[in-house]
Amino acid sequence: MKSKNSARVLIIDDDTGVLQAAKLYLKQHIEFVDINDNPEAVISGLKADQYDVIFLDMNFTRDVTSGEEGFYFLKKIKTIDPSIEVILITAYGDVELAVRAIKEGAADFIIKPWQNEKLLATVGSAVNLNRAKNKIKTLQSQKEQLIENINKPFYNMLGNSESIKEVINMIKKVSKTDANVLITGENGTGKELVFRAIHRESNRSNEPFISVDMGAVSDTIFESELFGHIKGSFTDAIKDRIGHFEVASGGTLFLDEIGNLPLPLQAKILRVLETREVRRLGSHKSIPIDIRLISATNIDIRQMVKENKFREDLLYRINTIEIQVPPLRDREQDIILLAEIFLKQFCLKYKKPEKNLSTETKIEFLNYRWPGNVRELKHSTERAVIMSENDILNPDDFFFSSKEEYVNFDDLDLGNTEKKMILKALKKHQNNISKTAIELGLSRPALYRRIEKFNIALS
């Protein structure tokens, strides 16, 4: 037996006989068919995303044949949800009326009495048109977000240390699976590089990969950003928006700084991972998704579970495999290698003569604790290339935090260390947020969240 079309169809006509006959026939082929003889009542209660196709009679008042009522209700429907395909029906059709119907947004025009086969074919065409439009919207959103991701700077994972070789080995093992991965490590260690490497080597490499900084998504727009929304679902919702989960469907979704999620929002993420479907804000329709989830955090997430700040069931969902990215201070033999690679890249980028590290600088690099890890090394090297006129770079050409701060680095509170770095950078740039964010390797929203977190006053 042939399965029914899953479309949602509504028929509005003042002739109850027509309604019952159409419903009886279409229910054999269409999953959801509603009927109603009162257009005012239907439209006043109509919600966006409620129907795929609406058959709308053009005349509801006795002895009126102009079709103006149909055009009036067509406009109302399209205002509520432009994605609904409306098919106008009437017993008084002509070519001019049909042309006007199409111009004003109708998908088709059908004349009573119709043949059942014609009715079914018209529904099928409208449903296909509706799905094609939705597919185009999804592809456009994917294109916009893919361009944004592709334009982000990316450096290959490099190094000869055993710790980084172990990370690369784990990437090779998990890439070809669909297992959810949790990447842990301090700020600046390269957790996003691990995510991108996993996606690049995966079976989903030709599908979307979407990166979301959870630390930069405020609670108020969380559902809209992650799950999407429909037009009119809140004050600023002037058009439909497809959320990150839906855009990433078929590919990989990376949730960075997942440890920053408040408990109520953790529950929403958990529901999506359990049901494998999302519901856009303001919609009642569930949309199936197929994603490979990779998450990252610089927080001790197991300690958060003990303190009831992170859901244990969510941790199990995101943590099929855990990859710990080592801090740069534990990759001593990689420090000079990475610095010299960055030197070549930035000399080429800024059209500078080739520069090298002095012996004193190499010693300083090996003794320094690199609290900002690879990110700090990269930015320090870039600044030195830009600012120094010398071919040999000495320690004075680099920005180092005072060594006293890091003598007992392992005993320091990581949050306190991060606060000191932010304060130092803010002071250096006279509270210029853009310049401070660039130096710290953060986005402006992420920096603002940290300023609020550490209660830093901006004079």
Total tally of structural domains belonging to the chain: 3
- For residue 109, which of 132, 91, 127 has the smallest C-alpha distance? 91
Separation between Cα atoms, residue 234 and residue 419, nearest integer Å: 36
Sequence letter at residue 323? I
If asked whether residues 294 and 367 sit together in one domain, one would say no
If asked whether residues 310 and 339 sit together in one domain, one would say no
Assess if residue 72 is contained within a domain.
yes
- For residue 316, which of 301, 300, 338, 329 has the smallest C-alpha distance? 301
Q: Does residue 132 have a pLDDT over 50?
A: yes
| Torsional sign, CA 116, 120, 126, 129 | negative
Read off the pLDDT of residues 68-121 as tens digits, 9 standing for 90 and up: 878 888 888 888 888 888 888 877 666 677 778 788 888 888 877 788 888 888
Q: Which residue, 133, 165, 180, sits at the end of a domain? A: 133
Q: Given this model, what pLDDT does residue 354 score?
A: 92
Element (H, E) at 315: helix 312-318
Q: Which residue, 262, 297, 324, sits at the end of a domain? A: 324
Separation between Cα atoms, residue 306 and residue 299, nearest integer Å: 13
- Long-range contacts for 99-107 (Cβ within 8 Å, ≥24 apart)? 100/71, 101/70, 101/71, 101/74, 104/71, 104/74, 104/75, 105/74, 105/75, 105/78, 106/74, 107/53
Assess if residue 416 is contained within a domain.
yes
What confidence category does residue 297 fall into, taking pLDDT thresholds of 50, 70 and 90?
very high
Q: Does residue 152 have a pLDDT over 50?
A: no
Assess if residue 140 is contained within a domain.
no
DSSP strand pairing (277-279 vs 228-229): unpaired
Q: Does residue 136 have a pLDDT over 50?
A: yes
- For residue 57, which of 72, 41, 79, 78 has the smallest C-alpha distance? 72
If asked whether residues 124 and 162 sit together in one domain, one would say no
Q: Given this model, what pLDDT does residue 142 score?
A: 64
If asked whether residues 406 and 360 sit together in one domain, one would say yes
- What ranges make up the beta strands (E) of 285-343? 286-288, 292-297, 321-324
Domain span at 393: 332-453
Query: Biggest alpha carbon distance in the chain?
Result: 98
- For residue 208, which of 275, 140, 307 has the smallest C-alpha distance? 140
Tell me, what CATH number does 122's domain have?
Answer: 3.40.50.2300
Assess if residue 40 is contained within a domain.
yes
Are 126 and 107 a contacting pair, CB within 8 Å? Answer: yes
Q: Given this model, what pLDDT does residue 404 score?
A: 41
- pTM assigned to the model: 0.58
Assess if residue 401 is contained within a domain.
yes
Assess if residue 144 is contained within a domain.
no
- Report residue 160: phi and psi, to 5°: -115, 0
